[in-house]
Amino acid sequence: YTEDWTDTPKEQTGTCEFNNTDHRTELNGVERLIVRRGQSFTINLHLRSGVYQPGGSALDLTVETGPQPSDQYGTQASFGLTDQIDTSRWSAAITSPPGNMVSLSICSPPDAPIGRWRLTLGQGGRVDFVLLYNPWCSGDVVYMDSEEKLREYILAQDGIIYRGGWKYPIPTPWNYGQFEDGILNACLRILDMNPKCLRNPGKDASGRRNPIYVSRVLSAMVNCNDDKGVLQGRWTDDYDGGVSPLSWKGSVEILRNWDTNACQPVRFGQCWVFAAVACSVSRALGIPCRLVTNYNSAHDTNSNLVIERYVDENGQLVQKSRDMIWNYHCWVENWMTRPDLKPGFDGWQVMDPTPQEKSEGVYCCGPIPLKAIKEGELTDKYDAPFVFAEVNADVHTFMKRKDGSTKKIISSVHVGLKISTKSVGSDRREDITHLYKYPEGSDEEREAFTKANHQNKLLQQQDNAGLLIVIKVSTEMRKGCDFDVFAVITNNTPNEKKCRLVFGSRAVSYNGILGENCGFKDLLNVQLAPGEEKRVALRMNYSKYAENLTEDNLIRLAALLLDYGTQEAYLAVRNVVLVNPEIKVRILGEPKENRKLAAEITLQNPLPVPLQNCCFTVEGSNLTGGQVITERLNSTVEPGQDAKVKIYFTPTHSGLRKLVVDFDSNKLCHVKGYRNVIIGK
């Protein structure tokens, strides 16, 4: 009877809508079948010969994926009809009463490889479908047992990335857009373009059952360092041939550009852009994912868990080694079990797509369980020592004198601070530092350091130095204003102290590269009575810092104190973030599906100089039709005046969405803002 079975395209569209909604993939569209593994889907067949009788018709089904399907690799399976679905393997059952229309239920095993599959029905029909990971299925290794978390870590198409500094985290909106038109195709193409697939496509297709394998592939393919990857990194101020990493508002444009330009790398990215694109791809494929920021992130190039910093006699950094402390660094965490490791290492895994160091000959990093980092288990896969150093490295500071000699100086710098991610279901910051490290000074911390052979931290004694120097700043330093910063010196000794204070400031990029001087003071004769505290102010003038700032809006303050009596040197360092003005977004009209809406967007010029070439760009998943809306102002915006535009857009789906805004001009670059919009049905 096998040639009896047919299916019609019209039926397929209805079937796609039903199945995709049931499998929570309908936001990708309902024109094709997109289902999750370990969960059954339905197709409707018509019998040419009239009526189906149970037991009377045989049906052979075959499914295959990849260019070299094989039973052995799990990329091909042949099966017939059974009385009921078996969710542990490929199976099919008829779920409709006798008649000329037959509903066929088909299920894949929860460990089937993800990707594009072909289903052949006997001699007749063929159905193509995409299979994704299924975090709603308890048999899947990416299973997550919280509907609320899945709404955030799989279904949320926008989010918040934390930048700025650890004393002043700045939330930046991002449009992940993993369900926008064409994005799933781009994600599958990333898997197809990876060197492992090009070398051995059959084995790679089989490897896609495993999110550990896929996460590692993604961490290599989001950067283009060894392959036809998505993004090219650049950490200088010269973005010729591309755009500043700060100009991106979301992943959609990046993934589309890569996909439509023959997999040429998109220029340019920095850590938060790499991480955000990796987050979009992970969520699109069905791996729960969140983006994480680590403040004061150590980049340890020689794996000794020590960052060595050198300063000159004015307390300014001198670049002597590739070891760096980044003001912040972003990566992602993917959720999965780790059957390849001993028990206890399931859950969140760090995966870092920013190209920093090679791993197994390729620029990639992870996945490594958070628990392995916390416990100091540095032999676990993959790349534990590098990530452990990012949050735990010790910092040693040396002064390099003019005569070439060096001297260790007293300075307290902590790495791995205020590790942050967006909260589930709200725009608040969630602090997850405790998932990476034990409380400082605790027995558990010492145990983890012992396992990790982190000798420097174990030997550390607290220097209760007689002289103390710290840098204090005002609560909020706005870009465009003049303000004071203070070096506060305290003499905790019973003796009078005579010191020299060098207090300087320089523009700095978020990854620690120093720019030009923004203000400087050298006091040769600071006298302190026993117990005395002195505050020394340094004025930061807009006229001085404006031209030197990088797009990161960061100034690095350094105060170096030299004790003439003991020849000891003390250093305090602090990065300050200059705050951009707020973008105000007003929604005009009642937000409803498929109804045109207007938004009025305003920014007040906070600078003492006029702004020219002002431009607002806006995007939002299911709000702006997958496109970026651009509005340029023809006029100059004077100090204190408003830059204002009105934009129109038509939401396509109900629910909570973010309208993400970027403002750019000649003097005020890439200011970010957003507005949450609740779209009614």
Which 8-state DSSP code applies to residue 579?
A: B
Q: Which amino acid is at 205?
A: A
Three-state DSSP class for 88? coil
Contacts 24+ apart (CB under 8 A), 447-455: 447/376, 448/374, 448/375, 448/376, 449/376, 449/392, 450/376, 451/375, 451/376, 451/377, 451/378, 452/305, 452/376, 452/377, 452/378, 452/385, 452/388, 452/392, 453/378, 454/305, 454/376, 454/392, 454/394
Give the other-Cβ count within 10 Å of 148's Cβ: 9
**What's the Cα-to-Cα distance from 227 to each of 170, 183, 191, 217, 364, rounded to whole Å?**
33, 20, 12, 11, 11
Q: Which helix (H) or strand (E) holds 660?
A: strand 655-664
Q: By the 8 A CB rule, do 527 and 495 touch? A: no
Rounded distance between C-alpha atoms, residue 646 and residue 628, angstroms: 14
d(CA 598, CA 646): 7
User: Which residue has tokens 């990796």?
Assistant: 278
Q: Which two tokens stand for residue 360?
A: 């197994």
Could you tell me whether strands 101-107 and 41-47 are parallel, antiparallel, or unpaired per DSSP bridges? antiparallel
232, 238, 225: which is closest to 254 by C-alpha?
Answer: 232
Report the DSSP beta bridge partners of residue 238: none
C-alpha span between 81 and 240 (Å, rounded): 60
**Residues flagged as binding site for Ca(2+):** 392, 394, 440, 445
- As a whole number of Å, the end-to-end CA separation of the chain is 46
User: Does residue 617 contact residue 249 with C-beta atoms inside 8 Å?
Assistant: yes
Residues whose CB is less than 8 angstroms from the CB of residue 606 and which lie 6 or more positions away in sequence, other chains included: 478, 479, 480, 481, 581, 668
Q: Which residues of 210-240 are buried (b: 16+ CB within 10 A; e: fewer)?
A: bbbbbbbbbbbbbbbbbbbbbbbbbeeeeee
Considering 197, 271, 365, 614, which one is annotated as catalytic?
Answer: 271
Rounded Cα distance between 296 and 390, Å, is 8
- Catalytic site includes residue 346: no
Hey, CA dihedral for 248, 252, 257, 262, is it positive or negative?
positive
Residue 664: phi and psi, rounded to 5, are -135, 150
34-to-111, 191, 318 alpha-carbon distances in Å: 16, 17, 54
CA distances to 66, 222, 289 from 279, rounded to whole Å, are 24, 10, 6
Burial, 468: exposed, middle or buried (Cβ in 10 Å; 0-12, 13-18, 19+)? middle
Would you give the DSSP letter of residue 592?
Answer: B
Q: Radius of gyration (Cα) for the chain, nearest Å?
A: 29
140 is catalytic: no
Under 8 Å CB-to-CB from 194, ≥6 apart: which residues? 204, 217, 220, 221, 227
The active-site residue out of 7, 352, 380, 563 is 352
Q: 271 an active-site residue?
A: yes
**Active-site annotation, residues:** 271, 329, 352
